[in-house]
Structure 1
Amino acid sequence: MITTRVVKILYVLALIPISLFSLLMAVYGLAWIDDSAAFGYLLLLASPFVWLFQVFATRIVLEFVINQFKISEYLRAIKDKG
């Protein structure tokens, strides 16, 4: 089944902008520490949680796609059997 291979590639490709966004958030947090310490620390502290949330959300969506294709495959096998 080709969908599982495509989903693996999409997952890796999705990790790149997610990681860059979180890294950029941390860099902005470090830059804001001089001007507004509370906002800078908040950005710095939130960046790993934002990364985790985005990775989990991406994973859930892609798992849903795989499950939909598996269900379709199993229904086709049941239809062909009967």
Structure 2
Amino acid sequence: MNNRIKVLRAERDWSQQALADKLGVSRQAVNAVERGKHDPSLQLAFDMATLFGQRIEDVFFPEKKSDTDNNEEN
């Protein structure tokens, strides 16, 4: 899942640690979500969106499939 966490965080001049503290999670958790290495729980995704004053779909969005993912072998 892609997200705008890094951009939204930078707009507020928040470090990953500052965001983590506001959310009650570890900095490593914020880093993993921000880099797309871990999908947040639904609750964490809502908490992040709320904290940024955004709708969840404006913060998180699905990865686009590549053309090779869409081709089926017959």
Taking structure 2 as the reference length, the TM-score comes to 0.28
Relative contact order, CA 8 A, sep 6+: which one is greater? Answer: 2
Q: Which has the larger radius of gyration?
A: 1
Structure with the higher fraction of residues in strand conformation: 2
